[in-house]
Amino acid sequence: MPEERTPSIDERIHALTMNLELLLKRGEEQGRQISQLSTQIAAHERDMQRFRRALRAALEAHMGNGDGESEA
């Protein structure tokens, strides 16, 4: 069986450089995705706060307790 040829230093450097470039590209893509998710989460949280305020106001109006005090 012939011996396996070991890669030269230049081939190793090239492989490592290509790997690093791919990792950097993937990291940039993930950074963009995280930024988009962060924007979506912030919008969702604003919507949920708006919903909670509307629900609280509707419940207080329905219960006849518009002054914010709880009924005992």
pLDDT for residue 47: 98
Task: Round to whole Å and give the CA distance between 57 and 65.
Answer: 10
Tens-digit pLDDT profile for residues 15-56: 999 999 999 999 999 999 999 999 999 999 999 999 999 999
Tens-digit pLDDT profile for residues 1-17: 678 889 999 999 999 99
pLDDT for residue 69: 56
SS3 content of the chain, % helix, strand, coil (to 5): 75, 0, 25
Find the distance separating the first CA and the last CA of the chain, reported in whole Å: 90
The answer to whether the CB of 66 falls within 8 A of the CB of 60 is: yes
**pTM passes above 0.75:** no
